[in-house]
Amino acid sequence: MKTIYRAVAIMLAAAWLSMPAIAQRAPIVQTFDLRVPWQPTPIKIAGQWQLLYELHLDNYSTEPLQPKQLRVLDADDGHVVREYDETTLRTMLGGPGMSGKKGDMTMAPGAHAVVYLNLSFDEAPAGLHLTHELSAAREGGTALQAQGGMLTVRNWPAPVTFAQPLRGGYWAVIYDSSWPRGHRRTLYAVNGAVHVPGRFAIDWIKVDMQGHYTKGDPTDKNSWLGYGEEVLAVADGKIAAAMDGMPEPAKVDPGKPTRVPLQDASGNYVSLDLGGGRYVFYEHLKTGSITVKAGQTVHRGEVIGRLGYTGETTGPHLHMHVADANAPLDAEGMPYALDRYTLMGHYRSIEAFGNQQGWTPVALGMGRLAELPAPLAVVSFNPAIFYPKETTPTAKQP
């Protein structure tokens, strides 16, 4: 009996001694759920490889949290691939869970936000396994961390390479992944899932050497230099959809988008089925100009319609993007490239473009192959002025 009492006493003593250790364990707190729902494929833009994707954040804490720092890590060895401080992170953060106040990054309990990432590489990245470490602060300043959002950098399917969508030029390449209200940062949640169809969308607007996109009254669509220009099939394929008949507004209000129901945002449009789950979308086409119909086979260079002013738009232009489904909004935007174009120059800012100020020319037209132009570039599709980038032309700039 004494042996039993002694064993019980030893067990009680051991339990008593272990209590401080249990009490000293680190508290568990709820923070962020980090997810990368769309797995990216590298794309070449203006000579440099880019990896564009979105890191989705959900605040599962019971209190407001403020993101402070983001590190992109190599999931295999833990080394830091990219690091963003609070100031930079502020420019990358958006989505429906933000307060809308300029500079405010506080996320309320249950709020959802998105970090729009754009990683640059000298060579095409492939096989990388990445994860993310987000540091944040409570209202009282206490720091916490969350890690997640695993992804594998794929190099397949490789981006498709297209012929030109328009003729001649000069054409301003209007897009930028950093614009708070640009295509890249516009989320659509339809049919039970959120998508970014315009992740790699470009708005093509014709300009002249002086930087003007209109000649005459800017409220008259006929004064816009690109209005009515022929739009071309960029590849062989089958027409998946051809929607025409939406009227054009009588007047253009430059800088202010026309207001239409969400289902009409694309205006008159054509989608071209390339096979393999890829579709090219041409949007805002001129009323009555579409020359193709669903089910029709077309070849690269064939006219499919004309540049117009329909749907939700700030002025006549061609919107073009590639997606993984035959739906203007319910699809993911996919990368692509142009087989060739001539870089003529660039605008220094979107404000300079909007004010129809001059763009800065390069010394000579520079031929580019199998890539996308940089944001705010000015390009030409005139074959007479295309110079392969491996050569130095001697002709004068046209």
| Per-residue pLDDT tens over the stretch 277-336 | 999 999 999 999 999 999 999 999 999 999 999 999 999 999 999 999 999 999 999 999
pLDDT of residue 395 exceeding 50, the answer is no
Q: What is the mean pLDDT of residues 28-33?
A: 90
Residue 363 placed within a domain: no
| Closest by Cα among 155, 175, 195 to 320 | 175
Q: Write down which residue in 88, 122, 152 finishes a domain.
A: 152
Residue 205 belongs to domain with CATH number = 2.70.70.10
pLDDT at 280: 98
| Closest by Cα among 278, 324, 39, 295 to 162 | 278
Q: What is the mean pLDDT of residues 251-257?
A: 87
Q: Write down which residue in 152, 186, 211 finishes a domain.
A: 152
Residue 58 placed within a domain: yes
Q: What is the mean pLDDT of residues 4-14?
A: 49
67-122 tens-digit pLDDT: 999 999 999 999 999 999 999 999 999 988 776 677 688 999 999 999 999 999 99
Distances (CA, A) of 385 to 167, 362, 378, 382: 13, 13, 14, 6
| Closest by Cα among 156, 178, 123 to 334 | 156
User: Are 302 and 193 part of one and the same domain?
Assistant: yes
Task: Tell which phi-psi region holds residue 392, choosing left (phi > 0), alpha (psi between -120 and 50) or beta.
Answer: beta
pLDDT at 257: 87
pLDDT-derived band of residue 398, with 50, 70 and 90 as boundaries?
A: very low
Residue 2 placed within a domain: no
Residue 246 placed within a domain: yes
User: Are 138 and 170 part of one and the same domain?
Assistant: no
User: Are 218 and 269 part of one and the same domain?
Assistant: yes
Q: What is the mean pLDDT of residues 254-262?
A: 88
Residue 97 belongs to domain with CATH number = 2.60.40
Q: What is the mean pLDDT of residues 25-50?
A: 91
Residue 39 placed within a domain: yes
User: Are 36 and 136 part of one and the same domain?
Assistant: yes
Cα–Cα dist 207/169, whole Å: 7
User: Are 319 and 177 part of one and the same domain?
Assistant: yes
What contacts 140, CB < 8 A, 6 or more positions away? none
If one compares 140 and 242, the residue with the highest pLDDT of the two is 242
Name the average pLDDT for the chain. Answer: 89
User: Are 189 and 331 part of one and the same domain?
Assistant: yes
User: Are 184 and 317 part of one and the same domain?
Assistant: yes
pLDDT at 390: 46
pLDDT of residue 357 exceeding 70, the answer is yes
pLDDT at 40: 92
User: Are 217 and 254 part of one and the same domain?
Assistant: yes
Lowest-pLDDT range of 7-21, 174-188, 378-392: 7-21
pLDDT at 391: 43
Backbone dihedral angles phi then psi of residue 352, each to the nearest 5 degrees:
-65, -40
For the chain, the domain total comes to 2
Q: Determine the structural domain holding residue 122 and report its residue range.
A: 32-152
Which H or E element spans position 239? strand 237-243
User: Are 49 and 176 part of one and the same domain?
Assistant: no
If one compares 6 and 251, the residue with the highest pLDDT of the two is 251
User: Are 252 and 234 part of one and the same domain?
Assistant: yes
Cα–Cα dist 75/127, whole Å: 11
Cα–Cα dist 128/77, whole Å: 11
198-238 tens-digit pLDDT: 999 999 999 999 999 999 999 999 999 999 999 999 999 99
pLDDT at 377: 97
Residue 384 placed within a domain: no
Residue 138 placed within a domain: yes
Q: Write down which residue in 291, 310, 340 finishes a domain.
A: 340
113-158 tens-digit pLDDT: 999 999 999 998 888 999 999 999 998 888 999 999 999 998 777 8
User: Are 190 and 322 part of one and the same domain?
Assistant: yes
Residue pair 344/379 in contact by the 8 Å Cβ criterion: yes
User: Are 104 and 198 part of one and the same domain?
Assistant: no
Residue 382 placed within a domain: no
DSSP at 391? S
